[in-house]
Amino acid sequence: MTRVIALPSRIEDVYALAKTMRARDAEEARIGFGADPKALLRDCFKQSILRQTYFVGDEIAAMVGMAGPLIGEIGYPYLITSPAIARAPLAAVREARKAVARMLQIREILVAMAPADWPDSLRFLEMVGFIFDEPEPMGKNQMMFRRCTMQRAA
């Protein structure tokens, strides 16, 4: 079984992942958010309250984190991946569940957006525990996204 090692993210991880980011993640940044993928990843890193980098072997497989205001009940998680994530999908789900549990200790509600036409991403988020709204167009290019939410248990 291939392991995923989760470590605190460093700015160097942003630049390493930007070089190996999966094409769909880069497309989501460019088309869905109208942003340069590397710049969006750097912004996510800088604005994060929590952030981790997942490694499979020596390769960066993903960066995960949560942005949002310092005070508030809503957190905005993100997950940006490289092809290495495919070598350890179940281990990545386990690590993402741990990350989400930490996020829910700080925020009552988590809200993310996922491309409506990316079944692998939606399946991953569902396995982590998110629920989905119906697809809606978003951004300048009106790319279809699904709002993904998770709420702290009462």
Burial of 126 (0-12, 13-18, 19+ CB in 10 A): middle
pLDDT band for position 25 (cuts 50, 70, 90): confident
Q: How far, in Å, CA of 35 to CA of 50, rounded?
A: 22
Under a CB-based contact definition with an 8 Å cutoff, are residues 146 and 134 in contact?
yes
Task: Give residues with Cβ within 8 angstroms of 39, minimum separation 6.
Answer: none
Nearest to 66 by CA among 150, 142, 5: 150
Element (H, E) at 138: strand 136-138
Specify the pLDDT at position 71.
85
Q: How far, in Å, CA of 82 to CA of 146, rounded?
A: 22
- pLDDT, tens only, 72-104: 899 999 999 999 999 999 999 999 999 999 999
Specify the pLDDT at position 91.
92
Specify the pLDDT at position 123.
93
- Indicate the residue type of 63: M
Percent of the chain at pLDDT exceeding 70 = 99
pLDDT band for position 33 (cuts 50, 70, 90): confident
Specify the pLDDT at position 79.
92
DSSP 141: T
| CATH number, span 5-151 | 3.40.630.30
Number of Cβ within a 10 Å radius of residue 43: 16
Three-state SS at 120: helix
Specify the pLDDT at position 141.
82
- pLDDT, tens only, 98-143: 999 999 999 999 999 999 998 988 999 999 999 999 999 988 788 8
26, two tokens: 């880069």
Strand 48-56 with 143-151, pairing: unpaired
